Chains A and B, each alone.
Chain A
């Protein structure tokens, strides 16, 4: 499903706002929102899922405006995995994933809902821990559970807010590989991510945000030391080895820390 964002504006009651966001994300694309802390990545993800309602502008999904869809109808199109799941409460993995069927369930889940749940659990290699309570899982396992729950929604668009934060290297790779496979199957995926090396390794499109505005957008070609310098105020060296891009941060020499001077 392709996404058009036209002239989107959003502001919290405070000072921060997203300003005139215009963007086009193709179907089945794996997109990364990158930018410094507080640049508006999470806010934009929440606007796309209508957890936050934009002040004006429109977001079209395959040319459809979803702004007057019911929450339930939106949930059948878009799934969202928040950065910090609010509460880790005592339910099993199976129950947590079954919750993804919520938009399809009226009074009680059907056989089809249970089958879909079991199917997703098996796809994400969670069957051995299907009856374990989620608060007993490791961070990496829990992230897989949340992705599984999102997949149980059978979404066309999957949004994840820093899905690799707090994960070790192996689990970061594992999560991103899963997402990459899903995008290859046609699900449009957008993640907010801080690790630029991971982002260039897996994503096909990059949207750089700075103070609520789009700073740059495009493919791997926008990952340049110039852009990164402007965005993060950090010098980096970029190595391009047979198309594999590696970003190495250099120490910030022009602005030595006070700590070092003391």
Chain B
């Protein structure tokens, strides 16, 4: 046969997606290096290498191994976690606005943080030289934020169990639970003093400046298995996109896939949010950007969102650290400023006819 077979044509088409993934991988590595090079002090590549291998100037070793490296790696993990959870949720909820945030996870986490700061007294704060507020008991805040995220996930699960695990039930319950937690936070704030209030606000801005090695390892333990889970389920998400009945007829246990995916996406997002605060729009925007490049096939969308998400948050954080140096912006502010207009642009320009 002289003409290309259908399969060969398809292979050529798929190759473009693989090339995209390879490019993103290289960009991710490139931004890792720039993330280590730039900051309040610029450190050259050779100095970084000697610092990592334990040679070189003591201050460089300090900055690289204790500050920049955990921050860069945590940015990648958090970005990957938020993005892959967003990509999965858009399919699970069959909604372009789907993300764990849609289900009120961030509101629940913020409530948990406010709860810890005001009720559990984790919020006595001091100002330090860097002009930022430090929580005197950050781990209590993290644990409380996470626990309340679990409560909100539990509410959705409960409703899904009794009313059916459909996108409608999940979205409506999530929105209602989210507004309840928001009202709860507002009520707590009513009883808070100025210092506690500023602690809450400080926590709410997603900030990777909090990333320590300990946070990184915790995050790694959660993000790696959940990412593998989503990648394994990429076929199931493809069937969900085709509709519940089609998915069932293709052999998918729709309720189980949807419920489990929701739990895992919520947990890993809650985990990232509890450590670093609310980093908005990453989970929402990244899958849409990736979809613009490689289309809606979850087999590629899910893994590409992992890489692109890591790259996106790392890039944003590096910008946030350096744009008005020496002042370090919380990355949550930057992702909101970058993400919101980007999302509207993608929505207006790229919305494919559904």
What is A's interface to B at a CB cutoff of 8 Å? 46, 49-51, 70-76, 78-80, 82, 85-92, 94-96, 99-100, 102-103, 105, 107, 114-115, 117-118, 121-122, 127, 130-131, 133, 135, 153
CA distance A80 to B241 in the complex (A): 16
CA distance A105 to B5 in the complex (A): 22
Number of residues of chain B lying within 8 A (CB) of chain A? 30
* A153 B245 Cβ-Cβ under 8 A: no
* A90 B10 Cβ-Cβ under 8 A: no
Q: A46-B245, A86-B244, A89-B241 are in contact. Are A99 and B7 (CB under 8 A)?
A: no
* B244 A103 Cβ-Cβ under 8 A: no
- Is the CB of B354 closer than 8 A to any CB of chain A? yes
Residues of A within 8 A of B6 (CB): 94, 118, 121-122, 127, 130
Residues of B within 8 A of A74 (CB): 251
CB < 8 Å neighbour of B250 from A46, A73, A153? A153
Residues of B within 8 A of A135 (CB): 352-354
What is B's interface to A at a CB cutoff of 8 Å? 5-7, 9-10, 13, 94, 232, 235, 238-239, 241-246, 248-253, 291, 295-297, 352-354
Give the shortest distance, in Å, between A254 (CB) and chain B (any CB): 40
* B9 A130 Cβ-Cβ under 8 A: yes
Give the shortest distance, in Å, between A132 (CB) and chain B (any CB): 11
CB < 8 Å neighbour of A89 from B7, B232, B250, B296? B296
Q: A85-B246, A88-B354, A89-B354 are in contact. Are A102 and B295 (CB under 8 A)?
A: no
* A82 B243 Cβ-Cβ under 8 A: yes
Shortest Cβ distance from B243 into A: residue: A86
CA distance A79 to B248 in the complex (A): 10
Give the shortest distance, in Å, between A15 (CB) and chain B (any CB): 19
Sorted from nearest, which 3 A-B pairs have the closest CB atoms?
Answer: A86-B243, A75-B251, A72-B251
* B249 A91 Cβ-Cβ under 8 A: no
CA distance A94 to B14 in the complex (A): 11
* B297 A102 Cβ-Cβ under 8 A: no
* A90 B251 Cβ-Cβ under 8 A: no
Give the shortest distance, in Å, between A66 (CB) and chain B (any CB): 12
Residues of A within 8 A of B7 (CB): 114-115, 117-118
* B251 A131 Cβ-Cβ under 8 A: no
* A99 B13 Cβ-Cβ under 8 A: no
* B295 A91 Cβ-Cβ under 8 A: yes
Residues of B within 8 A of A133 (CB): 295, 352
Give the shortest distance, in Å, between A102 (CB) and chain B (any CB): 4
CA distance A117 to B235 in the complex (A): 15
- Besides the known contacts A75-B251, A87-B242, A90-B295, 11 further A-B residue pairs in the complex with CB atoms under 8 A apart: A71-B248, A71-B252, A72-B251, A73-B251, A85-B246, A86-B244, A88-B354, A91-B296, A92-B10, A105-B235, A133-B295
CB < 8 Å neighbour of A91 from B94, B243, B297, B353? B297
Residues of B within 8 A of A107 (CB): 232
CA distance A169 to B152 in the complex (A): 53
Shortest Cβ distance from B11 into A: residue: A114
* A92 B242 Cβ-Cβ under 8 A: no
* B243 A85 Cβ-Cβ under 8 A: yes
CA distance A74 to B249 in the complex (A): 8
* A118 B5 Cβ-Cβ under 8 A: yes
Residues of A within 8 A of B245 (CB): 46, 51, 80, 82, 86
Residues of B within 8 A of A71 (CB): 248, 251-253
* B238 A90 Cβ-Cβ under 8 A: no
CB < 8 Å neighbour of B249 from A49, A90, A121? A49
Shortest Cβ distance from B8 into A: residue: A118
CA distance A92 to B296 in the complex (A): 9
Give the shortest distance, in Å, between A170 (CB) and chain B (any CB): 24
Residues of B within 8 A of A117 (CB): 7
Give the shortest distance, in Å, between A42 (CB) and chain B (any CB): 10
* A130 B10 Cβ-Cβ under 8 A: yes
Residues of A within 8 A of B246 (CB): 80, 82, 85-86
CA distance A167 to B242 in the complex (A): 20
CA distance A99 to B94 in the complex (A): 17
Give the shortest distance, in Å, between B105 (CB) and chain A (any CB): 25
* A51 B248 Cβ-Cβ under 8 A: yes
Give the shortest distance, in Å, between B241 (CB) and chain A (any CB): 5
CA distance A117 to B9 in the complex (A): 13
Give the shortest distance, in Å, between B63 (CB) and chain A (any CB): 42
Residues of A within 8 A of B297 (CB): 91-92, 95
CA distance A90 to B91 in the complex (A): 12
Interface centre among B9, B10, B235, B250 (most CB of A within 10 A): B250
Q: A87-B243, A89-B296, A95-B297 are in contact. Are A103 and B250 (CB under 8 A)?
A: yes
CA distance A102 to B306 in the complex (A): 23
Q: A82-B243, A99-B242, A102-B235 are in contact. Are A114 and B10 (CB under 8 A)?
A: yes
* A79 B10 Cβ-Cβ under 8 A: no
* A75 B249 Cβ-Cβ under 8 A: yes
Shortest Cβ distance from B3 into A: residue: A127
Give the shortest distance, in Å, between B267 (CB) and chain A (any CB): 23
* A94 B249 Cβ-Cβ under 8 A: no
Residues of B within 8 A of A127 (CB): 6
